[in-house]
Amino acid sequence: MFKKIQSFYLRKIILLIFNFAFYCCLDLKSFPILVLLIAFTYFCSCEKIKKKKAFTAIGVLGTIIIWLVYKLFINALPIGLSFYSFKIISYLIDSSKEKIDFKKTFLNYAIYVTYFPQILSGPISRSNNIVNQLHQTFRFQKEKWLKGIQLIFSGLFLKLVIANRAVVYVDTVFNNYRSYTGLALCIAAFLYSIQIYGDFSGYSNISIGFSNLLGIDIDRNFNRPYFSRSIKEFWGKWHISLSSWLKDYIYIPLGGNRKGKIRKWINSMITFLISGFWHGNGSGYLFWGFYHGILNNLKSPKINNKLQAIGFTILTFIEVTIGWIFFRLEDFFEGIHYIKHMLFNFTINYNSILSSVLPFTKDNSSIAMALILFLFIFIAFLIEVKNKNDYSKHNFCFKISFYIVSILLFGVFVSNKFIYMNY
Amino acid sequence: MKKLSITIIIAVFFTLFIIVLKAQFENKLLNNANYGLPSLIKKGKIDNLFIGSSMFRQGLDSKILNEKGSDSYILSYNGNNPILELWSLKYLLKNNVKINHLYIDMYAYSLTTEPSISDSKILMEVDIKGKLELYNLLNSKFNISDFYSIFISKNTELVATWPIYYQIINPTYYKGGIKTGRDGIDSTKMESLAMIEESQVDDRNIEAIFEIIKLCQENNIQLRYIETPKSLRIMENENYQNLMAMYQKILEEKEVPYYLSYNINKEISYNSYYFFDLIHLSNSGREKYTRDLIEFLSK
């Protein structure tokens, strides 16, 4: 069927209609905001406008104000607003700097902003990347299909088998952490690190996989972040599209590292604080940004051997996990209480181990739940160690079979919302 | 692409094969277990059978019940209500289990619950036919979520980790009862626990009680109802008392003997140490109550 859609224009119209329909199915009442924002910002970026810089500024400010109003004063954020706002801003700025290398039509722009695999939670791709590949859409390309299908199944595996399994324990303990032992709090913090990675990288894989099926290549959004040996390295591997957006549109315009050490430090802190605020306006998010800003400014360690590399990888994972505690609790003081409770009530004995396993189901099947979850975390770890995000044809049938069997037998289909849909 | 399609088809069929295998045969894993329906069915007959909720599991000590050559077995599931109690009884009778005395948990709040698989453990203890019966008990129309959970997802973890899980869990049971439970709490903690507030009776539970009584009469089973002790906060609760009054009225109408915890031991409810929450007995509470119950029954 796709082969028959020869007209490039027609294919773009079909994609736009599909994007709109997809958004309407998810959040019909916010659809007018999306359309109005696209229309308004397209007007601001129009080539015929004389005062280009001023209109770009109006467009950027307008987008930020709408986003801020929803974030600060209206509790229900329209689906994807945080993500498509960033796409709009990047387009406006790139457009004013003549960095757009495709024909600036409303159709191209609207497709870019509403592109359905990315509208919910990114990745926040740049317009050049998406629009320049539109001519390839709806054309069957075997290599991309194979990669796409593998990514979709691996994403579903991470979300349904890992993240949705971990969420049961994480929510039980985090929602009532004062009632649990330090060991349980430790496990919950560890599992939240796994959950958020499984949830978000799972979503990203599904999103990129769908793009591949459409014929569009998207850069990876996660590159084995928990194998990082410093926080600086971590931010080059975690939510890459957001990190690079913040770097290109906030950090570098502020002066980046060009204006001395102190300015570099300040610029970096501002960027991380904005990153924290983008995720949420609770004090926990702001502290999370601040905390990562501080750690990011520390000098990266010199690694001389494998043992040191392993040590720094574990240390970085612990640092990131501590940050997630504040992120998950959304409140700075709650985060401090959690860590205090975790440290001062930490004992390892038969009773504390038993009570730390119980939150899975609150009965003795918790043991089986824990065993299965940790087994799958270990398998996911091995996949990452061995494959290094290789989605080639190598072992293709085995990997697909493994994902299908695991998802059907061990998938948890209760919680289908993705964490980053809240931001 | 042909290879991909074949891979997906084979993987899906392989999974379906495992699912059917699991649904039909997982109960065989429990044939020699210290708990559950399969080992009771294998046994074939039982003198004293206790069917109930977690109240029975936490409130009755199987070792004490089986002292002095008695043959007792506890069949308990979390949140068990009369509807599921009736189903368990029917399932046992269908599998030719001979029961002499049947004791049923007289838990007032269980009258208020809807038919539901409140304890998924039961699904592992029955074959595919039993699962279908339970599914039909919950749904008059096709429900994909229940279907998926009953036939596919429930207890997959237990089966997958069986060699480890069984080795850890089985020794903690004795003839359906747990060997050790939890320690008691102090009165301050007891006061801080959230109160249970349920008052709306589900008529299907009342019908199930009538059917249990009828079934016992038809099969010559001596039926008795037992109320395990609850904390004073529950015993004094108006809702609880009203529900218990209704329960007693039903049993009196049908001339079925019942034993209230008040008749067996007046003191337990006053001591928080005998409980680990508002309704469940602690280790010491269980031991004390079971001994008192045996003494009471022997009179």
- Predicted local distance difference test score (pLDDT) of residue A392: 63
Mean pLDDT across A370-395: 83
Please check the confidence at residue A1 and state whether its pLDDT lies above 60.
no
Q: Report pLDDT digits (tens) over A111-126.
A: 999 999 999 988 999 9
- Residue partners of B16: CB distance under 8 A and separation at least 6: none
* Secondary structure class of B134 (helix, strand, coil): helix
B242 neighbors B202 (Cβ within 8 angstroms): no
Residue A389 has a pLDDT of 58
Cα B294 to the chain's mean position, in Å? 20
List Cα–Cα distances, A177 to A300, A335, A367, A373, B185, in angstroms: 34, 11, 20, 21, 19
Task: Give yes or no for residue A243 having a pLDDT over 60.
Answer: yes
The CA distance from B51 to the nearest CA of chain A, in Å, is 19
3-class secondary structure for B231-286?
A: CHHHHCCHHHHHHHHHHHHHHHHCCCCEECHHHHCCCHHHCHHHECCCCCECHHHH
Question: Which two tokens mark B42?
Answer: 């294998």
The answer to whether residue A421 scores a pLDDT higher than 80 is no
**B157 to A369: CB separation less than 8 angstroms, yes or no:** yes
pLDDT above 90: residue A418: no
Q: Which residues contact A25 (CB under 8 A, 6 or more apart)?
A: none
Specify the residue for token string 């708990």: B35
Residue type, B25: F
Burial of residue A307 (number of CB atoms within 10 Å: 0-12, 13-18, 19+): exposed
pLDDT at A415: 64
**pLDDT tens for each residue of A295-344:** 999 988 888 889 999 999 999 999 999 999 999 999 999 999 999 999 99
Banded pLDDT at A394 (limits 50, 70, 90)? low
In tens digits, chain B (299 residues) has pLDDT values of 788 888 889 989 999 999 999 999 999 999 999 999 999 999 999 999 999 999 999 999 999 999 888 899 999 999 899 999 999 999 999 999 999 999 999 999 999 998 888 888 899 999 999 999 999 988 777 788 888 888 888 899 999 999 999 999 999 999 999 998 888 999 898 888 888 887 789 999 999 999 999 999 999 999 999 999 999 999 999 999 999 999 999 999 999 999 999 888 888 999 999 999 999 999 999 999 999 999 998 87
- Residue B99 phi, psi dihedral angles, 5° rounding: -115, 130
Mean pLDDT of A57-85: 92
pLDDT at position B180: 86
Closest partner residue to B11 among A149, A405, A411, by Cβ? A405
Q: Which amino acid is at A46?
A: C
Rounded to the nearest 5°, which phi and psi values hold at B287? -60, -45
- Residue A378 pLDDT grade (very low, low, confident, very high; cuts 50, 70, 90): very high
In chain A, which residue's Cα lies nearest the Cα of B124?
A365
What is residue A4's predicted lDDT score, i.e. its pLDDT? 53
A411 at interface of B, judged by CB pairs closer than 8 A:
yes
Pairing of strands B173-174, B177-178: antiparallel
Q: Is B158 on the interface with A (CB under 8 A)?
A: yes
Shortest distance, CA A25 to any CA of chain B (angstroms): 22
Residues of A with active-site annotation: 279
Taking CA atoms, A388 is separated from A15, A106, A137, A384, A385, in Å, by: 32, 39, 28, 5, 6
By the 8 A CB rule, do A415 and A170 touch?
no
Name which of A364, A369, A392, A402 to mutate to probe chain B: the one with the most chain B Cβ atoms within 10 A of its Cβ: A364
Of A199 and A302, the one with more pLDDT: A199
What ipTM does this complex have? 0.82
Chain B, residues 111-150, CB within 8 A of chain A, namely 119-121, 148
Residue B67 CA to residue B293 CA, distance in Å, equals 13
What are the pLDDT digits (tens) for A2-52? 555 568 888 899 999 999 999 999 999 999 999 999 999 999 998 777 788
A391: confidence class by pLDDT, cuts 50, 70, 90: low
> How many angstroms separate the CA of residue B218 from the nearest CA in chain A?
36
Domain B44-115+173-298: CATH architecture, name and number where available: 3-Layer(aba) Sandwich (3.40)
pLDDT at B280: 94
Contacts for B21 with CB less than 8 Å, ≥ 6 apart: none
C-alpha distance from A348 to closest chain B C-alpha (Å): 19
Q: Which is nearest to A118 in space by CA: A130, A107, A134, A104?
A: A130
Instruction: Using CB atoms, pick whichever of A401, A404, A410 lies closest to residue B156.
Output: A410
Residue A416 pLDDT? 62
Q: Does any CB of chain B come closer than 8 Å to the CB of residue A400?
A: yes
Of A363, A368, A396, nearest to B157 by CB-CB distance is A368
Answer yes or no: is pLDDT of A256 > 90: no
DSSP label at B115?
Answer: S
User: How far apart (Å, rounded) are the C-alpha atoms in residues A251 and A57?
Assistant: 18
Q: What is the pLDDT of residue B69?
A: 81
What HEC string does A165-195 produce? HHHHHHHHHHCCHHHCCHHHHHHHHHHHHHH
Number of cross-chain residue pairs from A and B with Cβ atoms under 8 Å apart: 72
